[in-house]
Structure 1
Amino acid sequence: MKKVKIYITLKSGVLDPQGKAVQTSLNTLGYAEVQEARVGKYMELKLDDHTDAEKQVEEMCAKLLANPVIEDYQYTIEEGVTQ
């Protein structure tokens, strides 16, 4: 089995209102050193060993998991993961 870890983030230059809310809240709580916060998504998938994981993950991200207009993604694939 293969374990895929996918990280999806907004492209630089895209406004992140959720990140701004987190930054403001942390500043209010006394963490003035926080100058910026960006919020993204993290997903884990488990795939069969017989799968061309890299090709399938690229397709999944392009078709559903990420919006390529405003988001970037990166992933890692771990081989030989047990249930």
Structure 2
Amino acid sequence: MKARVQVMLKDGVLDPQGEAVRHALGSLGFEGVEGVRQGKVIELDLDETDPEAARAKVNEMCEKLLANTVIESYAVEVG
């Protein structure tokens, strides 16, 4: 079973990489970009066959390693 985790900085947390991308886009002539938030996507191949058990396992992985839950939020897709 495949799982996908999207990790993003929480609202209110400064995103220097996103700001650098926003600035670079403006320098390249892409006007009107008022904000950029950068995150990461993690794809997992699991041997689990039960979607709910897979989601629970991936949520635990996020809480323990994949996301810094103090400053990041995450969303899990299982399928």
Q: How does 1:1-83 map to 2 (within 5 A)?
A: 2-50=1-49, 52-78=53-79
> Contact 2:2–2:44 at 8 Å: present in 1 too?
yes
Cα offsets for 1:12-40 (capped at 9, x unmatched): 00000000000000000001111100000
Q: Secondary structure at the match of 1:19?
A: helix
Cα offsets for 1:39-74 (capped at 9, x unmatched): 001010010134620111011000000000000000
C-alpha distance in 2 between matches for 1:26 and 1:65: 29
Q: Secondary structure at the match of 2:32?
A: coil
C-alpha distance in 2 between matches for 1:50 and 1:3: 10
Structure 2: stretches of 5+ with no match in the other structure: none
Q: Secondary structure at the match of 2:43?
A: strand
Structure 1: stretches of 5+ with no match in the other structure: 79-83
Normalising to structure 1: TM-score of the pair?
0.88
C-alpha distance in 2 between matches for 1:43 and 1:33: 30
Runs of 4+ in 1 over 6 A off after TM superposition: none
Q: Secondary structure at the match of 1:22?
A: helix
Q: Size of the alignment, in residue pairs?
A: 77
What value does the CA root-mean-square deviation take over the aligned residues? 1.0
C-alpha distance in 1 between matches for 2:11 and 2:19: 14
